[in-house]
Structure 1
Amino acid sequence: MTTMRLCHLNELPEGGARGFDPKRRGQDTVFIVRQGERLFAWADRCPHHGTPMAWRKDAYLNAAGDRIVCGAHGAQFAIDTGLCTLGPCLGDSLTALALQVQPNGDIHLKTTEEQETST
């Protein structure tokens, strides 16, 4: 297992989300939602059609900031579990990704060989 640095904790908006392109391919493939000290990392891929989640850069949450929303078709997902609670992929889940927060606040994405080819 390897890790890839994404950002520092201070670079994540409280109650917000941010996308990342760890492979520098020109499109975010990972996003993190921050709720206080809790971080939730997901593959930036809707389980319905595999489309990116954000409707614009870093726009992953609904207006209330309490659900992840797919910009392609409006499906809603629980922030903490990734479970689809409304929409065409009801019952499906986002793909969770593992993070490692360093003592200095740097956030790293933990990747396996399989994840490295898809994220």
Structure 2
Amino acid sequence: MKLLCTAAELPDNSSRGFDIEGRKLLAVRRAGQAYVYLNRCPHRGVPLEWQPGQFLDASASLIQCATHGALFLIESGECVAGPCAGQFLTALDSREDDQGIWANL
């Protein structure tokens, strides 16, 4: 497991991107729970963010792909709108402890 960031560095309703050992990841926190996915849209295989660390739509309730506007549920990574509807972001095993948020690469 690799440490991504401290809990304070990922407040509720926010997202962050990471590049660890050549793998692009994103973490999102919602209702106190952190979710970690590969930063790769299932539609074209491109990174999702439109600006560094910006993965959420305007309401901060969905993960949004900047390339074609696909929208993904934060809790499951399921695409609910856009060209890859029904497909999923790749979730990574993760956990959170006193040190911060960890992901299994």
Give the TM-score range, shorter chain: over 0.9
User: Residue 77 in 1 paired to residue 88 in 2?
Assistant: no
Instruction: Describe the superposition over 1:63-117 as per-residue Cα deviations: whole angstroms up to 9, x where unpaired.
Output: 0011100011100011111111100001101000111212x24221112xxxxxx
4+ long deviations beyond 6 Å: none
Which structure has the bigger radius of gyration?
1
Note the residue ranges of structure 2 that are not aligned, 5 or more in a row.
Answer: none
Identity over aligned pairs, percent: 36
Counterpart for residue 86 of structure 2: 91
TM-score of the superposed pair, with normalisation by structure 1: 0.83
Question: CA RMSD for the aligned pairs?
Answer: 1.2
Counterpart for residue 44 of structure 1: 39
Deviation at 1:62, TM superposition (A): 0.4
Note the residue ranges of structure 1 that are not aligned, 5 or more in a row.
Answer: 112-119
Deviation at 1:13, TM superposition (A): 2.5
TM-score of the superposed pair, with normalisation by structure 2: 0.93
Aligned residues: 105
Q: Following the alignment from structure 1 to structure 2, what is the Cα–Cα distance between the partners of residues 62 and 107?
A: 22
